[in-house]
Amino acid sequence: MPRPVDLLARLPLAFAAAFGVLCIVLPIGAMLLETVHGPDGFTLAPWATILATEVDRQQILASVGLGLVAVAVAIVFGFGHAWLTTATDLPGAPVLGPLGIAPLVIPPILVAMGFADFAPASGFWFCALLLGTSYAPFVAVMTARGLRAVDGRSYEAALVARGRGPAEGLLLRSILPEIAAGCLFAFLFVISEHGVPEFLTVKGKAWHTYAEGVFGRWTRRATGVAHEDVVSPIVAAVPLIAITSLALWAALRFRARSMLRSDFRPLPTRTLGKWRLPALLLPVTYLTCGVGVPIFVMTRWAMGSTQTREPMSVDILRRSFRAGLEQSGDDLGYTLLLALLTTGLLLAVSIPAARAAARRFPAIDHLAVLPVAVPAVLLAIGFVKVFNSPVAGSLYDAVGYDVYDSMGVVGCAYAARFLPFGVLTLSQAVRRLPRSAEEAARLTGRGPVACGLRIHLPALLPAIWSVACLTFVLAARELDVAVVLPAGNDTVVRRLSNIVHFGGEDAGGALALMLLVAVTSLPILTVLLTGRKLRPLS
């Protein structure tokens, strides 16, 4: 008979499991069920259409190609930035380092649109560069995480034994799990991006990505009556899941087996010597591409670049900001709150899930990646099916609280979508912790709650901080889920995409800049308030 305190200890995992069932298995399961449930009963016919056409096959190749090139860009920028700002005496590293996450904030579609306004920008390579830069923060955050988790003595041992080159090689090998996870995330986001490739390939159509094809099918679902039309976007997501699984399998092969010891020493700071100043070029280029260009094009918009009635001016800029604030000041608050809710929820689910994945059920790592492997629209519609089902409805009526129409359901959907970041990052961190430190806590006789809060959680704190920063930024800019769920209506990004389409680039640019400032300043503010060191990338 388990004691109450033991039950209490199982509560977080039970919560994570319930979340997994409710927000991942049921929504995606409901969608898959739809594909085999035709008008005449069970059917597998729609599944036969997967990659059936030459067009589909070429698109998927284009997607993988785009993903690989963009990941290469992300590695150059993200890994380079993290390594230089974390492990060397690069001037200004403490300031440059945390900025590495900023390119993620402004959705790349806006950057593409703003950029195209004043310079010819199109084609595969530009698309790969733009997306690679935009998603390089995944690699940057993960690399920095890895570099901070490596015991400096193992590096020094190799340095003494074999010299600098082999020592760096060994270091690289030991943070490969983190780099691989960062690349995986960047790859997933690139191949599921449909707006940017579509926008950047408008002229002289030469290639299309698979995500564009999948997105096009959603229109057919909206208009179609035939079962095949309705379910075609769902089965079309299957190759994306397959590619994701493959990428995940590759990434997990590098999984950490090294343990941290309690007398852990951080990596020594490498001196760059005469390369100290030239090395600045990489972070500066990265931040120019990832932050400078977006700020530039958004400022141009806000200054009135898309109209010819009056010349661009600071006055227009002021008006744009006023218009942006008037239209969606509330949305900005709502978005930040939603991002916080998502972050809290994601941590509450991924911490117990990651501990279980690292210690008992490695399969959780694989399962948790599912929500980011399916297109966001699919997950969101699955959410509608589950959270607006008659069963759920009668439940809401019973408790007098309509979850479906609340921020809660959007927070859950976001948290489900971004869960892999939490689970993969944290399970990696748990694996690096020595079991004996946990066993020592267990033997003290203090309850599981005390052990959890005072021993297990603090040990994971750096990794939790990385996850929280990433989730917060991703939640603040998520669009596809917000588009489907009615309660996602009040997010800034949704408003932004609306304004920009209807010719309001000026107010849109101002709004994008406000979002950038709000999202990046919030982690910094938290740092200042809580007195933590300025390390959003730790």
Partner 1 sequence: MKQILALAFATLLAACGRSTDVTLYVALDQEHSEALVRRFEEESGLRVNARFDTEASKTVGLVSAIVSEKDRPRCDVFWNNELAHTVSLGQKGLLEPYASPAAAGIPAAFKAEDGTWTGFAARARILIVNTDKLGTDRSAWPTSIEDFADPKWKGRCAIARPLTGTTLTHFAALRFALGEERFQAWLDAIQDNVVWLQSNGATMRQTADPQTEIAFALTDTDDFHVALQKGHAVGAVFPDQAEGGLGTMLIPNSVAVVRGGPHPEAAKKLVDFIVSEQVEAILAASKSAQIPVRAAVQGPESAWILGIDDFRPMVWDADEVASHLAELSAAFAQRYGGTR
Partner 2 sequence: MQSLDVDQLQFRHPHGDFRLGPLDLHLPAGSRTALVGPSGCGKSTLLRLLAGLERPTSGTISIGGRVVADGPHERVSPAERKIGFVFQDGALWPHLDAVGHLRFVQPRLGDAEAVALLDRVGLADRARHRPAALSGGEAQRLSLARALAHEPEILLLDEPLGAVDVHLRDELALLVADVARDRKLTLVVVTHDRDEALAMANDLLVLRAGSIVEQGSAADLLGMPGTGFTASFLARAVCLPLAPESGRAETPFGPVDMPPGARSDSHVLAVLPGDLEIVTSAEPAQSVEAEVRHLRADGFGRRLAAVSVQGQLVPVLCGPDVALGDRLTLRFRVPPRVLPHG
Structure tokens at 497: 């995409």
Q: How far is the CB of 85 from partner 2 (least distance, A)?
A: 22
Q: Using an 8 Å Cβ cutoff, are 476 and 335 in contact? A: yes
Which CB atom, from 4 or from 39, has the smaller least distance to partner 2? 4
501 binds partner 2 (CB under 8 A): no
Choose from partner 2, partner 1, none: what does 215 bind? Cβ within 5-8 Å by kind: partner 1
Q: Spell out where 455-511 has E strands.
A: none
Q: Tokens representing 309?
A: 């009635």
- Name residue, tokens 């869960």: 419
In this structure, what is the dihedral angle of CA atoms 357, 341, 144, 427, given to the nearest 10 degrees?
A: 0
How far apart are alpha carbons 111 and 516 in whole angstroms?
Answer: 13
Q: Which amino acid is at 306?
A: T
Question: Which is nearest to 67 in space by CA: 283, 373, 448?
Answer: 373
Considering the rule CB under 8 A, would residue 52 count as an interface residue with partner 1? no
Find the shortest distance in angstroms from Cβ 265 to partner 2.
6
Q: At its nearest, how many Å lie between partner 1 and the CB of residue 250?
A: 27
Any contact of residue 494 with partner 1 (CB under 8 A)? yes
271 binds, among partner 1, partner 2, none (CB under 5 to 8 A by kind): none
Q: Under the criterion CB under 8 A, does residue 365 sit at the interface with partner 1?
A: no
Q: Is 223 in the site for partner 1 (CB under 8 A)?
A: yes
Site string for partner 1, 284-323 (x = CB under 8 A): ----------------------xxxxx-------------
Q: Which of residues 406-445 bind partner 2 (CB under 8 A)?
A: 434, 436-437, 439-445
What's the 3-state SS for 94-125?
HHHHHHCCHHHCCCHHHHHHHHHCCCCCCCHH
Inter-CA distances, 361 with 217, 294, 352, 353, Å: 36, 42, 12, 9
Identify the H or E element spanning 2: none
Contacting partner 1 (CB under 8 A), which of 15, 156, 170, 221?
221
Q: Which is nearer to partner 1, 272 or 403 (CB)?
A: 403
455 binds partner 2 (CB under 8 A): yes
Phi, psi values for residue 101, rounded to 5°: -90, -15
| Cα(518)–Cα(537) distance, integer angstroms | 18
**Measured from the CB of residue 508, what is the shortest distance to partner 1 in angstroms?**
11
DSSP string, 374-408: S-HHHHHHHHHHHHTSHHHHHHHHHHT--STTSHH
- Contacts to partner 2 from residues 239-278, by CB under 8 A: 260-265
Of 238, 280, 217, residue with least CA distance to 89: 280
Question: What is the per-residue binding string for partner 1 in 141-180, x denoting contact by CB under 8 A?
Answer: ----------------------------------------
Q: Does 390 engage in binding with partner 1 (CB under 8 A)?
A: yes
Nearest distance from residue 498's CB to partner 1, in Å?
Answer: 5
389 binds partner 1 (CB under 8 A): yes
Q: How far is the CB of 460 from partner 2 (least distance, A)?
A: 10
Q: How far is the CB of 434 from partner 2 (least distance, A)?
A: 6
How near is the Cβ of 431 to partner 2 at its closest, in Å?
Answer: 16
Q: Least distance in Å: CB of 517 to partner 1?
A: 19
Distance between first and last Cα of the chain: 42
State which residue, 155 or 218, has the beta carbon closest to partner 1: 218
Residues 6-45: x/- map of binding to partner 2 (CB under 8 A)? ----------------------------------------
Applying the rule CB under 8 A, the residues between 83 and 112 that interact with partner 1 are 109
* CB of 77 closer than 8 Å to CB of 133: yes
Question: Position 41: which residue type?
Answer: G
Binds partner 2 (CB under 8 A): choice among 165, 169, 268, 458: 458
Give the CA angle between residues 454, 455, 460 to the nearest 5°: 105
Applying CB under 8 A, does 449 fall inside the site for partner 2? no
Q: Name which of 412 and 419 has its Cβ closer to partner 1.
A: 412
Beta-carbon contacts of 86 under 8 Å, excluding residues fewer than 6 positions away, are: 93, 97, 143, 144, 147, 148, 537
Q: Which residues bind partner 2 (CB under 8 A)?
A: 260-265, 434, 436-437, 439-446, 450, 454-455, 458-459, 461
